[in-house]
Protein backbone atom coordinates (compact mmCIF):
# COMPACT_ATOMS: atom_id res chain seq x y z
CA UNK A 1 0.00 0.00 0.00
CA UNK A 2 1.19 3.53 -0.80
CA UNK A 3 0.23 6.69 1.07
CA UNK A 4 0.19 10.05 -0.67
CA UNK A 5 -0.20 13.25 1.38
CA UNK A 6 -1.52 16.56 0.09
CA UNK A 7 1.23 19.10 -0.55
CA UNK A 8 -0.45 22.30 0.69
CA UNK A 9 2.09 24.58 -0.99
CA UNK A 10 1.07 23.21 -4.41
CA UNK A 11 -2.67 22.78 -3.78
CA UNK A 12 -5.71 25.01 -3.48
CA UNK A 13 -9.21 24.40 -2.19
CA UNK A 14 -11.63 26.86 -3.76
CA UNK A 15 -15.37 27.43 -3.71
CA UNK A 16 -17.67 29.74 -5.67
CA UNK A 17 -21.17 30.89 -4.81
CA UNK A 18 -23.53 33.31 -6.54
CA UNK A 19 -24.02 36.68 -4.87
CA UNK A 20 -27.19 38.66 -5.66
CA UNK A 21 -27.65 36.25 -8.59
CA UNK A 22 -25.52 38.54 -10.77
CA UNK A 23 -21.96 37.87 -9.64
CA UNK A 24 -19.85 35.16 -8.06
CA UNK A 25 -17.90 35.24 -4.82
CA UNK A 26 -14.78 33.07 -4.73
CA UNK A 27 -13.30 31.79 -1.51
CA UNK A 28 -10.55 29.48 -0.32
CA UNK A 29 -9.67 27.32 2.62
CA UNK A 30 -6.06 28.20 3.41
CA UNK A 31 -5.37 25.42 5.96
CA UNK A 32 -6.14 21.81 5.04
CA UNK A 33 -4.67 18.33 4.90
CA UNK A 34 -5.50 15.00 3.39
CA UNK A 35 -4.19 11.74 2.08
CA UNK A 36 -4.73 9.16 -0.63
CA UNK A 37 -4.03 5.48 0.01
CA UNK A 38 -3.51 3.30 -3.04
CA UNK A 39 -2.92 -0.36 -3.77
CA UNK A 40 -0.51 -1.01 -6.62
CA UNK A 41 0.31 1.48 -9.37
CA UNK A 42 -3.19 2.82 -10.01
CA UNK A 43 -5.39 5.31 -8.18
CA UNK A 44 -8.42 3.12 -8.95
CA UNK A 45 -10.10 2.21 -5.65
CA UNK A 46 -7.96 4.68 -3.67
CA UNK A 47 -9.07 5.72 -0.18
CA UNK A 48 -9.23 9.52 0.10
CA UNK A 49 -9.50 11.55 3.30
CA UNK A 50 -9.48 15.31 3.60
CA UNK A 51 -10.17 18.00 6.16
CA UNK A 52 -10.12 21.79 6.08
CA UNK A 53 -9.94 24.25 8.97
CA UNK A 54 -13.06 26.42 8.85
CA UNK A 55 -11.15 29.24 10.56
CA UNK A 56 -8.91 29.44 7.48
CA UNK A 57 -11.75 30.52 5.17
CA UNK A 58 -10.68 33.44 2.97
CA UNK A 59 -12.93 35.34 0.56
CA UNK A 60 -10.66 38.38 0.45
CA UNK A 61 -13.11 40.33 2.60
CA UNK A 62 -12.67 40.16 6.39
CA UNK A 63 -16.25 41.03 7.39
CA UNK A 64 -17.65 38.35 5.06
CA UNK A 65 -15.13 35.79 6.38
CA UNK A 66 -16.19 36.58 9.95
CA UNK A 67 -19.84 36.12 8.95
CA UNK A 68 -19.05 32.78 7.25
CA UNK A 69 -17.33 31.56 10.45
CA UNK A 70 -20.40 32.49 12.54
CA UNK A 71 -23.39 30.29 13.35
CA UNK A 72 -25.23 31.76 10.32
CA UNK A 73 -22.97 29.55 8.23
CA UNK A 74 -20.15 27.22 9.36
CA UNK A 75 -20.02 27.94 13.13
CA UNK A 76 -16.23 27.51 13.23
CA UNK A 77 -16.18 27.58 17.03
CA UNK A 78 -18.43 24.54 17.44
CA UNK A 79 -17.55 22.76 14.16
CA UNK A 80 -13.90 23.68 13.41
CA UNK A 81 -13.34 21.17 10.56
CA UNK A 82 -14.96 20.27 7.27
CA UNK A 83 -14.23 16.60 6.54
CA UNK A 84 -14.44 14.22 3.59
CA UNK A 85 -13.94 10.45 3.56
CA UNK A 86 -14.25 8.51 0.31
CA UNK A 87 -16.38 5.44 -0.22
CA UNK A 88 -15.29 4.86 -3.84
CA UNK A 89 -12.79 6.15 -6.40
CA UNK A 90 -13.65 4.80 -9.86
CA UNK A 91 -11.93 5.31 -13.18
CA UNK A 92 -14.57 6.40 -15.70
CA UNK A 93 -12.36 6.95 -18.77
CA UNK A 94 -8.68 7.64 -19.38
CA UNK A 95 -7.54 10.09 -16.69
CA UNK A 96 -11.10 10.77 -15.43
CA UNK A 97 -12.42 9.42 -12.16
CA UNK A 98 -15.54 9.64 -10.04
CA UNK A 99 -14.91 10.22 -6.35
CA UNK A 100 -17.79 9.45 -4.00
CA UNK A 101 -17.71 9.89 -0.27
CA UNK A 102 -19.16 11.42 2.85
CA UNK A 103 -18.77 15.16 3.31
CA UNK A 104 -19.28 16.55 6.81
CA UNK A 105 -19.98 20.24 7.30
CA UNK A 106 -21.18 21.36 10.72
CA UNK A 107 -23.04 18.36 12.16
CA UNK A 108 -24.37 17.13 8.80
CA UNK A 109 -22.81 14.29 6.80
CA UNK A 110 -24.02 13.67 3.25
CA UNK A 111 -22.79 11.61 0.33
CA UNK A 112 -21.35 13.67 -2.51
CA UNK A 113 -19.86 12.72 -5.87
CA UNK A 114 -17.03 14.73 -7.39
CA UNK A 115 -15.41 14.64 -10.82
CA UNK A 116 -11.66 14.09 -10.76
CA UNK A 117 -9.08 14.41 -13.51
CA UNK A 118 -5.64 12.91 -12.88
CA UNK A 119 -3.17 15.36 -14.39
CA UNK A 120 -0.28 12.93 -14.19
CA UNK A 121 2.36 11.44 -11.93
CA UNK A 122 6.00 12.53 -12.07
CA UNK A 123 9.24 12.44 -10.14
CA UNK A 124 10.53 15.83 -9.02
CA UNK A 125 14.19 16.98 -8.83
CA UNK A 126 14.30 16.01 -5.12
CA UNK A 127 13.50 12.34 -5.66
CA UNK A 128 9.84 12.59 -4.65
CA UNK A 129 6.96 11.16 -6.67
CA UNK A 130 4.04 13.55 -7.06
CA UNK A 131 0.59 13.26 -8.62
CA UNK A 132 -1.76 16.06 -9.57
CA UNK A 133 -5.56 16.09 -9.57
CA UNK A 134 -8.28 18.55 -10.48
CA UNK A 135 -11.51 17.97 -8.55
CA UNK A 136 -14.87 19.60 -9.28
CA UNK A 137 -18.38 19.31 -7.93
CA UNK A 138 -21.41 21.17 -6.65
CA UNK A 139 -23.18 20.97 -3.32
CA UNK A 140 -26.32 22.63 -1.98
CA UNK A 141 -25.22 24.62 1.07
CA UNK A 142 -28.66 24.41 2.70
CA UNK A 143 -28.34 20.59 2.91
CA UNK A 144 -25.41 21.20 5.29
CA UNK A 145 -27.26 23.71 7.51
CA UNK A 146 -25.55 26.72 5.92
CA UNK A 147 -28.98 28.30 5.75
CA UNK A 148 -28.54 32.04 6.27
CA UNK A 149 -30.06 34.18 3.58
CA UNK A 150 -31.52 37.55 2.94
CA UNK A 151 -33.56 39.09 0.17
CA UNK A 152 -32.92 42.49 -1.38
CA UNK A 153 -35.65 45.10 -1.74
CA UNK A 154 -36.03 43.99 -5.35
CA UNK A 155 -36.60 40.40 -4.20
CA UNK A 156 -33.22 39.01 -5.25
CA UNK A 157 -31.63 36.34 -3.07
CA UNK A 158 -28.33 37.52 -1.58
CA UNK A 159 -26.52 34.14 -1.49
CA UNK A 160 -27.12 31.30 -3.94
CA UNK A 161 -27.88 27.78 -2.70
CA UNK A 162 -25.44 25.93 -4.94
CA UNK A 163 -21.74 26.07 -4.12
CA UNK A 164 -19.23 25.04 -6.77
CA UNK A 165 -16.17 23.24 -5.44
CA UNK A 166 -12.91 23.41 -7.36
CA UNK A 167 -9.71 21.90 -6.06
CA UNK A 168 -6.26 21.60 -7.57
CA UNK A 169 -4.43 19.08 -5.47
CA UNK A 170 -0.88 17.79 -5.62
CA UNK A 171 -0.06 14.74 -3.52
CA UNK A 172 3.38 13.42 -2.57
CA UNK A 173 4.07 9.71 -2.19
CA UNK A 174 5.39 8.96 1.28
CA UNK A 175 8.57 6.91 1.40
CA UNK A 176 8.79 4.36 4.19
CA UNK A 177 11.55 5.08 6.69
CA UNK A 178 14.24 2.42 6.71
CA UNK A 179 14.88 0.77 10.06
Using one digit for the tens of pLDDT, what is the confidence trace for 66-121? 988 988 888 999 999 999 999 999 999 999 999 999 999 899 999 999 999 999 88
Q: What local confidence, expressed as pLDDT, does residue 114 receive?
A: 93
Please say if the pLDDT value at position 156 is more than 50. Answer: no
State the pTM of this model: 0.85
Beta bridge partners of 13: 29, 167
Residue 109 neighbours by CB under 8 Å, 6+ apart: 102, 103
- With a CB cutoff of 8 Å and minimum separation 6, the contacts of 76 are 54, 55, 57, 69, 70
3 state DSSP class of 96: strand
Number of neighbours of residue 106 by Cβ within 10 angstroms: 17
What's the pLDDT band for 30 if we cut at 50, 70, 90?
Answer: very high
What is the three-class DSSP state of 40? coil
Closest CA to 173 of 8, 45, 35, 55: 35
List, in order of start, the domains of the chain with CATH numbers.
2-173 (2.40.128.110)
Query: 128 falls in which pLDDT band (50, 70, 90)?
Result: confident
Amino acid sequence: MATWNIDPTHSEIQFKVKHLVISTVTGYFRSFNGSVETEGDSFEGAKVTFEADIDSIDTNQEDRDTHLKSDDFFNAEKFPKMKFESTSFKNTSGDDYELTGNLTIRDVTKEVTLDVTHGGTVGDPYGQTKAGFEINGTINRKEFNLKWNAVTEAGNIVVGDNVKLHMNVQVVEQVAEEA
